[in-house]
Amino acid sequence: MPVQSNCVHREDCLKGLARIEPASVDLAFADPPFNIGYKYDVYDDRKGYDKYLEWSSEWMQAVSKTLKPDGTFWVAIGDEYAAELKLILQNDCGLVCRSWVVWYYTFGVNCKYKFSRSHVHLFHFVKDAKNFTFNHDDIRVPSARQLVYGDKRAQSNGRLPDDTWILRPQDLPEGFQPDDDTWFFSRVCGTFKERQGWHGCQMPEQLLGRIIKACSNEGEMVLDPFTGSGTTLAAAKKLGRKFIGFEMSADYAKYARKRLGNINPGDPLDGSEDAVASAPSTSKGRRLKDVRPKIAKPNSQEQLRFDLA
């Protein structure tokens, strides 16, 4: 049976992906389980090393087959398997890496005997190195020349990238640029208004919004094999894209459908576009004007996938 679009399918993605017409998807974004023992309601996040890689190769090849010849595939992954998954994407799937983006997030859990985890790897792969969508005009931001120095020579339409280590956001007064390959978005914390509250791995809509705006056009098809709380699909719907999602948990699928039911195309993305200059609204409506000098304490009760392992 062909896969209906604009739906979350409660299904193992391997089964669902096999039903998608080959070469029909413009953009796929996958945030798979990281195999670090995170507690999902149904999925067991502790496979053996070989088993996890075998399974990863299987689903990534299945996603690749659904991509159009000019299609794009983003994969989010933690440190533990980043190197292995990148090689699988290149070698088993035959894709080409355009960018290795680091998403730097705040509000991670403080660690005692290692540096606190504050990043996720985001691999940006394309099927054809010469033919892919990258709408750089849709993700441009004001440059430091414009914002900080008021320099008349600044390009009026902003700027693009960098490749830098940033230890603390307050050390970088000019902020992170959305088109740099080190990105700064706060994790979606328990107190944030954006937080759905029933899935601990919810990604920020602004992060997905950037990927979807850059790598697809209105009316095109966006696929997420691991829907979770539905962030990819929510951002896709708001940005006027078609979407398909798979989720093996009946509860997560149900709640993600509910989330999508409350969204209309054209709705603004949740969260602040400039995470350095403003903090997200909390569920109580509080909004900080500038978070740079403040150091927030994470909620130690909350189990965070990004900080396990």
Ligand X SMILES: C[S@@+](CC[C@H](N)C(=O)[O-])C[C@H]1O[C@@H](n2cnc3c(N)ncnc32)[C@H](O)[C@@H]1O
| Residues at the interface with ligand X (CB under 6 A) | 12-13, 31, 33, 40, 42-43, 199, 201-203, 226, 228-229, 231, 246-249, 252
Kindly state the tokens that stand for 227. Answer: 């829907």
Residue 248 beta carbon to ligand X: minimum distance, rounded to whole angstroms: 4
Residue 202 has a CB neighbour count (10 Å cut-off) of 22
Closer residue to ligand X (CB): 62 or 141: 62
Residue 25 beta carbon to ligand X: minimum distance, rounded to whole angstroms: 16
Residue 62 beta carbon to ligand X: minimum distance, rounded to whole angstroms: 10
Determine the Cα angle at 34 with ends 29 and 38, to 5°. 120
Residue 150 beta carbon to ligand X: minimum distance, rounded to whole angstroms: 38
Listed in sequence order, the residues at least 6 apart from 3 whose beta carbon sits closer than 8 Å to its beta carbon are 9, 16, 19, 20, 21, 244
Closer residue to ligand X (CB): 141 or 224: 224
Residue 59 beta carbon to ligand X: minimum distance, rounded to whole angstroms: 7
> How many Å is the Cα radius of gyration of the chain?
19
Helix/strand/coil (H/E/C) assignment for every residue in 82-133: HHHHHHHHHHCCCCEEEEEEEEECCCCCCCCCCCCCCEEEEEEEECCCCCCC
Determine the Cα angle at 64 with ends 55 and 17, to 5°. 65
Backbone angles phi, psi at 44, to 5 degrees: -95, 115
Closer residue to ligand X (CB): 64 or 177: 64
Closer residue to ligand X (CB): 186 or 231: 231
Chain centroid to CA 65: 21
Q: Pick from 235, 227, 218, 230: which is nearest to 270 by CA?
A: 235
> Would you give the DSSP letter of residue 147?
H
Residue 43 beta carbon to ligand X: minimum distance, rounded to whole angstroms: 4
- Measured over the CA atoms of residue 184, residue 280, residue 74 and residue 242, the dihedral's sign is negative
Residue 166 beta carbon to ligand X: minimum distance, rounded to whole angstroms: 23
> Would you give the DSSP letter of residue 14?
H
Residue 8 beta carbon to ligand X: minimum distance, rounded to whole angstroms: 10
Q: Are 230 and 10 in contact (CB under 8 A)?
A: no
Closer residue to ligand X (CB): 55 or 161: 55
Closer residue to ligand X (CB): 199 or 210: 199
Closer residue to ligand X (CB): 13 or 221: 13
Closer residue to ligand X (CB): 125 or 246: 246
Which residue's CB comes closest to ligand X? 228
